[in-house]
Every structure is written in C-alpha cells, then in structure tokens.
Amino acid sequence: MLPCLLLPVLAVGLVRAHAAEPHACTPLTPAVMDNATMAGLLGHWVYIMGASNYPPHVAEMKELKYVTFTFLPGSHDDEFFVTETLRLNETCVVRNASKILIFRHNSTLMHVEGQEVSTAELIKTDKELLVLKHSKESFLGLSLSARTPNVSKEHLEAFRAQLRCLGFTQEETFVTSPKDACPPEGKEKDEATSATAEGFAAFLSSRRAGIKPA
C-alpha cells in the first residue's frame, strides 16, 4: 500500500472531521485534474509527513520510518502503476503490485492493492509537492510528499500550519527522516517474488527505451 502506507502513506493520517477549521486557515482547494496535472504526478516522490488521531493508522505511522514511491503510466490514461520502497522499523520492503485509479471529476485518487482500496483527494499546491486529503467515515487527514526529501522551511511550516488548523497536535504528527532511507543496492525484502521485481525492472527499461511492454 502507498504512503498508510501511500493511500492506506495515501490512507494515512486521520482526525475527526467535526474539528472546526478557523477562518484564518488556508482553504484546501482540490487540484484540477487535467492532462497537465496528470503528467505532473508521474515520477518519483518522497513521503515527508502526515498526521492522525485514528488509532489503527497511528500504530502504522509509528512504524513507518521512510517511504519513496513512483507513479508510472498505467494501461490507460486514468491509471498509474505504483512502486514503493519503505522502511517499517528496521525492515525495508519493496511493493510493486498496486495501482492508482484517477477520477478527474472530483480530483480523487484511488489506491488499489489486491483487495485493499483507499481514496484521497488531490489538493492544489506547488508542482514539486504532493498534498493528499484523506477521508474515511467521520475522519479526515492530510499527508505531504515531495520530489526530494529537502522540502523548504516555508513549505513545511505552511503544511504544519494547515495541520494545526485541522486540529492535529504535535503528538499526532509523524515525520520521516532521510537517514532511514533504504539502501539502493536492493537489500530490501520484496513482498512478492524476485520474478515480480525483475518484471518491474524490465517494464521501467522498456519505458525509458520507448518500447511498449508486451
């Protein structure tokens, strides 16, 4: 799953929706899901932080130390394939068996991994950032990802201010650290099989070469 760990570290932070938002808070404006926005989502992302007071997700987020994920073109215009590399406590895991379905009319991303489905609303922000608003029953939440782990102090403070406006406390906010990044040499444990990993690598190579996978 993506950053909780994308959509279940996307179905990540939750806080009760009835928490009043002060008038001074910056409105969360949904992004316009046109072709330019879609193209801008493709590529590599680093999960930076999220917030939650929903116990099951708090437990997951406490274990989540670092996450990177990549959106790749899917089998049709409104689908992305996803690969994730994440550290859960001391264990690195690679996941590449999920996809994102895009619903342009309401700016929603649906993360599908096996039988698990979760949704988040894409929020309008800087092109180098990915802000997702998560909702489930009477709960909502917010998560921040970026193209690199080096997010400006201004962007971080703006995001933290939004979390405070939504009623999150410092104790309900979880931040990842680059020092916990998984090693690039591939020591991570893949949840699937080595054949799946090799197939995904072949997919990446074919994309770079401009060749359509069979």
For the chain, domain boundaries: 15-208
State the pLDDT at residue 2.
Answer: 54
Residue ranges for the chain with pLDDT beneath 70: 1-24, 136-137, 185-214
Give the pairing of strands 91-103 and 189-190. Answer: parallel
**pLDDT of 144-155, one tens digit each?**
999 999 999 999
User: Looking at the chain, which runs of residues are DSSP E strands?
Assistant: 15-16, 43-51, 64-73, 79-88, 91-103, 108-113, 116-123, 129-136, 139-146, 173-175, 189-190
CATH architecture of 15-208: Beta Barrel (2.40)
